[in-house]
């Protein structure tokens, strides 16, 4: 098993919720900056699939995502996370740390994904996420509240 620092094992506070949407679910996340809002949106997706409290940090995988704009970057970031869960090693994450976040003129993310292999019996089975959508996707900057908010509908 890999060794992790105390900082790597420290989980971020929850800054997301789920909003009802016809036949799907809308992820709503927020953060003090855009990078934190992206990390929280990824965590919201994983938490919809299982109870995050049941996920130990035993391994770390890295992903990269690129997009033509912020919405495309968010879509591809979540899609890469879903791919990580859907293919070997079937990684379910309890922590995401974006290590590179470029938002113009090119749009790129590199992210460390901490968690373990999803195991039925150990991890309560939530709802399967089939796909990420662009439908009603919003990235909102709220300077008066000093936070960014993201809204993403996922196909379940």
Given a cut of 80, whether residue 1 has pLDDT beyond it is no
Residue 20, pLDDT > 90, answer no
Q: Which residues of 126-145 are buried (b: 16+ CB within 10 A; e: fewer)?
A: eeebeebeeeebebeeeeee
pTM: 0.94
pLDDT tens-digit series, residues 63-91: 999 999 999 999 999 999 999 999 988 99
As a whole number of angstroms, the distance between CA 42 and CA 82 comes to 9
Tell me the sheet residues that pair with 19.
26
* pLDDT recorded at residue 88: 81
pLDDT at 15: 97
- What's the whole-number mean pLDDT along residues 24-31? 96
Domains identified in the chain and CATH numbers: 24-155 (3.55.10.10)
**Mean pLDDT for the chain overall:** 95
pLDDT band at 104 (very low <50, low <70, confident <90, very high): confident
């Amino acid at each position: 098993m890999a060794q992790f620092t105390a900082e790597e094992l420290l989980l971020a506070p929850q800054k997301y919720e789920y909003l009802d949407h016809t036949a799907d679910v809308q992820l709503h996340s927020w953060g003090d900056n855009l990078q934190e809002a992206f990390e929280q949106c990824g965590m919201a997706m994983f938490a919809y699939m299982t109870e995050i409290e049941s996920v130990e940090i035993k391994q770390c995988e890295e992903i990269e995502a690129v997009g033509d704009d912020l919405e495309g970057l968010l879509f591809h970031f979540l899609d890469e996370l879903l791919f990580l869960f859907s293919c070997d090693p079937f990684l379910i994450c309890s922590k995401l740390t974006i290590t590179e976040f470029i938002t113009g003129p090119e749009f790129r993310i590199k992210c460390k994904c901490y968690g373990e292999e999803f195991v039925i019996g150990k991890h309560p089975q939530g709802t399967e996420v089939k796909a990420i959508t662009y439908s009603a996707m919003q990235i909102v900057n709220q300077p008066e509240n000093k936070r960014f908010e993201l809204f993403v509908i996922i196909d379940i």
